Amino acid sequence: MFTHTTINAYQARQSPIHQLDARVKILGTVGIILSNVLLPDGAWWAFLLTYVGLLLVVRLSNFKIGFVLKRSLLALPFVLVAVSILFTLPGNALFSFRLFSWNLTITDSGLLRFTSIMIRAWLSVQAAILLTSTTRFPDITHGLRHLHIPLVLIAILSFMYRYLFVLNEEAVRLLQGRAARSASLPDSPKPPIGWQAKNAGNMVGQLFLRSYERSDRVYNAMVARGFQGQFLTLNPHVMHSIDWYALAIILLVLSLIQVIGHIF
């Protein structure tokens, strides 16, 4: 199961990026994602400039390049959903092959679109990873609140994040209980696949029922302790001169990326 370190992606460091206001990092992340979406297919120089900028942020955050690269691989299975574009977008045929009863042809425009989608998703995920790795979750929620995001959405996001830990803790308890009740000899045969599938299905059902009941108790306990719909933080959330300078640099770089992407 996931550990608390896996769920809580924040990495404590002493760096200029960590010290920036959460609003600057949120706007920068959203700006990078929008910039990737607005770039035309095949804007390789603009994609490269975006990646260089992300590498610079990684360096300023005192992270290793491999730290972000490994986590960004999470996006690959979701990007593969767009693989049908290779065959459905009209264009000049590059090569064809037969898969079962289908004759599939990869076109140049399909390959261009698919490659651009992969790069966009990969860069956007890296930006999101940098946001969550350099900003504590309560600071992110407060930054969203200062940016006038609807309070209902912020509350939903906050409880979803909190209940991930509840779900993980209940899953760990279920697995420990099953292991304690399923002692067997080292050379004993494994249970049939059907029995394992049935047992796993029962565990999933119990997991969500127990998590739901516990989440209700957690919410009531939070309300009893004065919870008013937002997490508290010691961060004063005041925009300093360095934050405004950083925001201006981000906007300037993103504008330059758009110019390069639409010219070259």
pLDDT digit string, tens, across residues 135-147: 988 889 889 989 9
The pTM (predicted TM-score) of the whole model is: 0.79
What are φ and ψ of residue 227, in 5° steps? -65, 130
Give per-residue pLDDT as tens, 28-63.
999 999 999 999 999 999 999 999 999 999 999 999
**Three-state SS for 103?**
strand
Per residue in 192-233, pLDDT tens? 777 667 777 777 787 777 777 777 787 788 788 877 766 666
Tens digit of each residue's pLDDT (9 = 90 or more) over 79-129: 778 888 888 888 888 888 887 777 888 888 989 999 999 999 999 999 999
Compute, in degrees rounded to 10, the torsion defined by CA atoms 228, 231, 233, 239: -90
Task: Please choose, from the candidates 4, 3, 10, 7, the residue with its C-alpha nearest in 3D space to the C-alpha of residue 133.
Answer: 10
Average pLDDT over residues 169-176: 78
For the record, the structure tokens of 206 come out as 């119990």
Interatomic CA distance for residues 227 and 225, integer angstroms: 6
Report CA-CA distances (Å) from 90 to 13, 182, 221. 49, 57, 58
Count of CB atoms situated within 10 Å of the CB of 217? 10
